[in-house]
Structure 1
Amino acid sequence: MTDNDFDQIFPLGEPNDAYAQYFIGRSYLAPLASGSVPVSNVSFEPGCRNNWHIHHGSGGGGDQILLCTAGSGWYQAEGEEPVSMKPGTVIRVPAGTKHWHGAKADSWFSHVAFITPGEDVRNEWLEPVTDDVYGQLPKNGENL
């Protein structure tokens, strides 16, 4: 499938070059709203995933909300089973949770993402999700 074939309600956006060092594979970023709660559509080519990372914040801030809008992907918090994401899946990642998210091996994936505002909100990028770890995920994810 090419980006021209990937049917989604939000724009694909531009190649996510500013954050490419924190992804395995190619991702795209389409800012949807700016201001105190920036909202973006992030699209992942098949097999693309971001590194493990933690969103920090206090005063109610730093939670990440992921709303799957197209395709099929994965979300996984450290020490937990992976969650299969399909359009309509909503994930709340509490501040301080080490996690990653990305496309399944055979599918494009898009989610709308935003971080709840608060104090000291920042992101800490960590190690990549290795091919060995990623390769152990179910191929279609429907069993999860």
Structure 2
Amino acid sequence: MKLNNPAPTTKAPAERFTGDVYLQPLHAGEAPSKLMAAMVHFTPGARTNWHSHPLGQTLLCTEGAGLVGTRDGTVILMRAGDTVHTPPGEEHWHGATPEGLMSHLAMVEHENGQSATWLEPVSDADYAAAHTQTAR
């Protein structure tokens, strides 16, 4: 057993995110483990690009409320304590609502060194539609 000090929080790359997003890597799997985990902090309205994961992804919302959307138009509103799983290969995005901050623990497994396939940004229109769909 060993205590791992978390890596410093850094600003997420603009080519994969819209808005201000901050990443704190927590664990990078060492063989035979394939697990990668990070805390991700989204400012209001910030979101990922469309992307998929070869072995799926699990998100545990730890603070605030966020949206998770898929290509078929399904949108889930997740709140602190909720867990959302996207299956292998499903194109999706996730981020904060326009009203507040959201943080989640992101857990993925890498396959042959790859944990995600990054695609185009989520348009403002698609983001607004997702928010409208889940507004309560």
The TM-score range, normalised by the shorter chain, is 0.7 to 0.9
Q: Quick check: 2:67–2:130 contact (8 Å CA) kept in 1? A: no
Give me the whole-angstrom Cα distance separating, in 1, the residues matched to 2:111 and 2:120. 26
Query: CA shift at 1:127, angstroms?
Result: 1.4
Q: CA deviation at 1:140?
A: 9.4
- Whether the 8 Å CA contact 2:45–2:95 is kept in 1: the answer is yes
Tell me which amino acid in the other structure corresponds to 1:23.
F
Matched residues, percent identical? 35
Counterpart position of 1:7: none
Distance 1:92 1:135 in 2: 22
**Is the Cα contact below 8 Å between 2:51 and 2:92 reproduced in 1?**
yes
Q: May I ask how many residue pairs the two structures share in their alignment?
A: 127
Post-superposition CA distance 1:21-73 (Å, at most 9, x none): 111101001122232312110010100001111112xxxxx111100000111
Which whole-Å CA distance do the structure 2 matches of 1:11 and 1:109 have between them?
20
1:45 corresponds in structure 2 to 43
- Matched with 2:87 is 94
Matched with 1:27 is 21
- Secondary structure at 1:20's aligned position in 2? coil
TM-score between both structures, scaled by the size of structure 2: 0.82
Cα contact 1:54–1:125 (8 A) shared by 2: yes
SS at match of 1:85: strand
Q: Is the 8 A contact 1:12 1:42 kept in 2?
A: no
CA distance in 2, matches of 1:86, 1:42: 14
Shift of 1:81: 2.1
The unaligned stretches of length 5 or more in structure 2 are 1-5
Task: Please list the CA deviations of residues 57-92 of structure 1 after superposition, one character each: whole Å capped at 9, or x if unmatched.
Answer: xxxxx1111000001110012104210011011011
Unpaired stretches in structure 1, ≥5 consecutive residues = 1-9, 57-61
1:15 equivalenced with 2:11 (yes/no): yes
How far 1:136 moved relative to its partner? 1.9
State the superposition RMSD in angstroms: 2.4
